């Protein structure tokens, strides 16, 4: 029997559920990746994510060749190309891993129907999470909408089924990998795909399986401190693995297994448990998206859709200032500069900037969500939507609407010396820590001595937080009434 494995957000040649099952059930296995025009055509011509994927595909193709196989790479509409390719290769079945995003589910349904018309099944597998869909349910058999009980049930299930993190081996069956048609040996260049290079290489973002391994190894050396260090954007606290988790160059089973083993040996400190908890948040939001796909366009809690957001030219100007890091609040502006220049933003700052847009500027969270979706290298629909709905208080287990981050206090607490701010806003580099968090509160002469003129080389604040806070509480009153 002949199988075709369709790679999507699982760009690795080890511990891969679909590849494992295809190898186990077939004599000959072809591998393919489609640069999907339905996705690529919507993106700007310079996009770090496309360049990242391009590098990953180069590495994956080389790895598969090393193992005696090949990666067939096409630039086409995936929902048409996969059934066509399966027919061309005379494959008996197609194998792929589950995706939980509504558009991907619709695409996979269309592919399954087209394949079925040719007598070929599409077999799909859980791969990018430890627990999916209905794996973790409450005692009454319903899906969770609050994180802590979900996490407890998740951990309980892991304890009961430690095999959930066992790898799906590839090497023992690698002799079944097919070299592929001769026409498939060349890979399209980034330019052939219609894209330009970005600053990905200049940022030294490690790509591919090798990059994922390198980042994880580096993180394991400091995981014990993660619980505290992760909150300070000037510090190398988090793992920076989100991009690799997004495209599957790391295996979630390997990450969870490694941390669980280190924790069991007492070698992961408090940080190990906190980090595992973040990986569970990732699965929590994927499960929410799967069970409640309306969150893509609307509030998880419908009452929040009654809120009136600021609209019109003034709101557009506020939104543009936020996007471009011109709010006059240094921590917010430095965070937006980090996003715009690197495609990454520290988790604490994602919370601060999202809350600022929604609760200081009164802008609909969906506009911020869309901006992040366009600019984040690690953009993931479930996590991004979950994060924005958390900040707008409209999501499952979100922060209460009356709890509004104070951007100045956040800055004083999490970037006390202004190190992060200075990294992205060099015009504020000479300011003392006490002046950097809210420069408008410092006498003009003091600022000017340090080379800062508000309204000239750094903006005046767009709003006063205390006034904005009052407006937000009024805006959210409709929710209380509902
Ligand atoms: P680490 O701190 O090392 O965490 C490890 C992994 O856990 C992350 O790589 C990620 O996969 C997962 N994780 C951590 N925090 C969360 C969380 N709150 N929700 C879901 N998963 C989490 N994460 C994305 O991967 N893609 C997004 O598009 C995204 N958008 C966000 C938008 C907002 C408004 C907010 C508040 C958070 C968002 N996050 C998103 C979650 C989080 O900020 C990032 O996962 C994290 O900053 C990535 O850095 P890291 O890999 O170094 O994380």
Does the annotation count 278 as an active-site position?
A: yes
Does the annotation count 365 as an active-site position?
A: yes
Distance CA 156, CA 153 (A): 5
Distance CA 108, CA 127 (A): 15
User: How deeply is 343 buried, as exposed, middle or buried, from its count of CB atoms within 10 A (0-12, 13-18, 19+)?
Assistant: buried
pLDDT of residue 278: 98
pLDDT, tens only, 445-469: 999 999 999 999 999 999 999 999 9
Q: What residues contact residue 141 under an 8 Å CB cut-off, 6+ apart?
A: none
Query: Which residue minimizes the CA distance to atom 4 of ligand 1?
Result: 278
CA 118 from chain centre, in angstroms, equals 36
Q: Considering 347, 406, 412, 440, which one is annotated as catalytic?
A: 347
Cα-based distances in Å from 437 to 67, 255, 319, 415: 55, 37, 21, 9
Q: Is 361 in contact with 318 (CB distance < 8 Å)? A: yes
Query: Which residue minimizes the CA distance to atom 30 of ligand 1?
Result: 384
Q: Is 130 in contact with 165 (CB distance < 8 Å)? A: yes
Q: What is the distance in A from the centroid of ligand 1 to the CA of 231?
A: 12
pTM score, whole prediction: 0.98
Query: Which residue minimizes the CA distance to atom 52 of ligand 1?
Result: 240
Task: Set out the domains of the chain in order of their start, with CATH numbers.
Answer: 1-127 (3.40.50.620), 128-166+209-291 (1.25.40.80), 302-481 (1.10.579.10)
Ligand 1 atom closest to the Cα of residue 244 is 9
Does the annotation count 388 as an active-site position?
A: yes
Does the annotation count 347 as an active-site position?
A: yes
Q: Is 82 in contact with 115 (CB distance < 8 Å)? A: yes
The secondary element (H helix, E strand) that includes residue 357 is none
CB neighbours (10 Å) of residue 299?
21
Q: Is 208 in contact with 57 (CB distance < 8 Å)? A: no
Q: What is the distance in A from the centroid of ligand 1 to the CA of 383?
A: 7
What number of residues does the chain have?
482
The dihedral through the CA atoms of 22, 179, 171, 127 has a sign that is negative
Distance CA 191, CA 202 (A): 18
Tokens for 269? 């400190």
Q: What is the distance in A from the centroid of ligand 1 to the CA of 283?
A: 11
pLDDT, tens only, 281-314: 999 999 999 999 999 999 999 999 999 999 999 9
Name residues contacting ligand 1 (CB within 6 A): 230, 238-242, 245-246, 278-279, 281-282, 285, 347, 350-351, 354, 372, 376, 378-380, 383-384, 386-388, 391
Strand partners, 3: 29, 93
- Among all chains, which residue has been given the structure tokens 């086409």? 76
pLDDT of residue 481: 72
Query: Which residue minimizes the CA distance to atom 37 of ligand 1?
Result: 387
Cα-based distances in Å from 340 to 97, 142, 236, 244, 377: 32, 40, 19, 20, 10
Q: Is 357 in contact with 309 (CB distance < 8 Å)? A: no
Distance CA 64, CA 175 (A): 11
pLDDT along the chain (482 residues), means of 10: 98 98 98 98 97 98 96 97 97 98 98 98 98 96 96 97 97 94 80 97 97 98 97 98 98 98 94 98 98 97 96 98 98 98 98 98 98 98 98 91 95 98 98 98 98 98 98 94 69
Q: What residues contact residue 279 under an 8 Å CB cut-off, 6+ apart?
A: 252, 255, 256
Ligand 1 atom closest to the Cα of residue 230 is 2
Q: Is 19 in contact with 5 (CB distance < 8 Å)? A: yes
- Among all chains, which residue has been given the structure tokens 């202004």? 418
Nearest to 361 by CA among 400, 323, 399: 323
Known binding-site residues equal 226, 275, 278-285, 378-380
Q: Is 157 in contact with 129 (CB distance < 8 Å)? A: no
Nearest to 126 by CA among 213, 249, 20, 23: 20
Nearest to 279 by CA among 310, 303, 307, 255: 255
Q: What is the distance in A from the centroid of ligand 1 to the CA of 480?
A: 30
Known binding-site residues for FAD equal 226, 275, 278-285, 378-380
User: How deeply is 213 buried, as exposed, middle or buried, from its count of CB atoms within 10 A (0-12, 13-18, 19+)?
Assistant: middle
What are the DSSP calls for 58-125, one per residue?
A: HHHHHHHHHTT---EEEEE-HHHHHHHHHHHTT-SEEEEE---SHHHHHHHHHHHHHHHHTT--EEEE
């Amino acid at each position: 029997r002949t199988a075709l494995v369709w790679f999507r957000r699982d760009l690795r040649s080890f511990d891969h559920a679909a590849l494992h099952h295809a190898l186990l059930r077939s004599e000959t296995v072809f591998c393919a990746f489609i640069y999907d025009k339905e996705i690529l055509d919507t993106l700007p011509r310079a996009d770090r994510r496309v360049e990242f994927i391009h590098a990953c595909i180069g590495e994956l193709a080389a790895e598969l060749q090393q193992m005696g196989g090949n990666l067939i790479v096409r630039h086409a509409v995936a929902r048409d190309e996969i059934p066509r390719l399966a027919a061309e290769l005379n494959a008996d079945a197609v194998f792929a891993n589950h995706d939980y995003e509504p558009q991907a589910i619709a695409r996979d349904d269309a592919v399954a129907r087209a394949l079925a018309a040719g007598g070929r099944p599409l077999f799909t597998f859980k791969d990018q999470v430890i627990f999916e869909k209905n794996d973790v349910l409450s005692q009454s058999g319903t899906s969770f909408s609050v994180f802590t009980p979900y996490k407890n049930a998740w951990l309980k299930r892991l304890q009961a089924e430690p095999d959930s993190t066992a790898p799906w081996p590839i090497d023992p069956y690698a002799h079944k990998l097919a070299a592929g048609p001769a026409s498939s040996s060349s890979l399209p260049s980034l330019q052939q795909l219609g894209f330009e290079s970005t600053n990905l290489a200049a940022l030294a973002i490690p790509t591919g399986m090798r990059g994922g391994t390198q980042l994880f190894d580096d993180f394991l050396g400091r995981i014990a401190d993660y619980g505290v260090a992760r909150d300070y954007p000037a510090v190398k606290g988090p793992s920076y693995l989100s991009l690799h988790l997004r495209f599957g160059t790391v295996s979630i089973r390997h990450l969870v297994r490694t941390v669980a083993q280190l924790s069991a040996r007492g070698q992961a400190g408090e940080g190990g448990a906190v980090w595992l908890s973040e990986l569970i948040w990732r699965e929590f939001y994927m499960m929410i998206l799967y069970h409640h796909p309306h969150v893509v366009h609307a509030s998880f809690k419908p009452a929040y859709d009654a809120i009136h957001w600021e609209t019109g030219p003034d709101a557009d100007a506020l939104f543009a200032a936020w996007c471009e890091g011109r709010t006059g609040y240094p921590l917010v502006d430095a965070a937006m500069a980090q996003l715009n220049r690197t495609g990454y933003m520290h988790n604490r700052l994602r919370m601060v900037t999202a809350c600022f847009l929604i609760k200081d500027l009164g802008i609909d969270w969906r506009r911020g969500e869309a901006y992040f979706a366009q600019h984040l290298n690690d953009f993931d629909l479930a996590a991004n939507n979950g994060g924005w709905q958390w900040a707008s208080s409209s999501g499952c287990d979100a922060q209460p609407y009356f709890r509004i981050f104070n951007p100045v206090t956040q800055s004083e607490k999490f970037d006390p010396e202004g190190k992060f701010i200075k990294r992205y806003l060099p015009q504020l580099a000479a300011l003392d820590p006490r002046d950097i968090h809210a420069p408008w509160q410092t006498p003009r002469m003091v600022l000017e001595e340090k080379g800062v003129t508000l309204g000239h080389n750094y903006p005046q604040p767009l709003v006063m937080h205390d006034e904005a806070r009052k407006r937000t509480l009024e805006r959210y009153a409709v929710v209380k009434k509902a």
